[in-house]
Amino acid sequence: MTSEELELYIDLDNKIKNRIVQIGHALKGVNGDVIRKFVPKFKEFCMYEYDKPDFIENTQQDEILHLGLDYDVCNGWLCDFNKSLLTMTDVQINKIVEYDRTEKEAKRKQQEAIEKARQERKKQLAEKAEYEQYLRLKQKYEVGK
């Protein structure tokens, strides 16, 4: 292997690493179910009790990049990154993020409506209890006359 070829591989490796970081930042906090709608066979991350060899693992002809890192805290950590994410454009990544945002907004509005209905029921029950107390006091007062 010549030094030029080696430089090309190193450059390509750096581009892939930078793209993984960029996509990771863009998809941070996005629900995995949303990503699965756009990217088939998406896996978020897994923890294993053993170390995963990364270079050999990544040479397999599968759809996942296995980014193996070893931390003493969790006895080996593995992040699986779907290779098809690397080929997606920024527009496609932004569609995933926007879809997740609208899903979260719809869920938030639904929760607000449920909470508002709950508060309304609570208010009605309190008013009913107050009115019943009023009727008891009124009856007690009228009987006492």
Tally of domains within the chain: 1
Amino acid at 90: D
pLDDT at 1 over 90: no
Instruction: Quick: pLDDT tens for 118-144.
Output: 999 999 999 999 999 999 988 888 876
What element of type H or E holds 47? strand 46-47
- pLDDT reported for residue 122: 96
Amino acid at 142: E
Among 59, 64, 60, 58, smallest CA distance to 82 is for 64
Note the pTM of the prediction, 2 decimals: 0.62
**Residue 102 domain boundaries:** 3-144
CA distances (Å), origin 7, targets 2, 86, 110, 116: 9, 21, 54, 62
Evaluate whether 79 touches 124 at the Cβ level (below 8 Å). no
Instruction: Quick: pLDDT tens for 79-117.
Output: 667 777 888 899 999 999 999 999 999 999 999 999 999
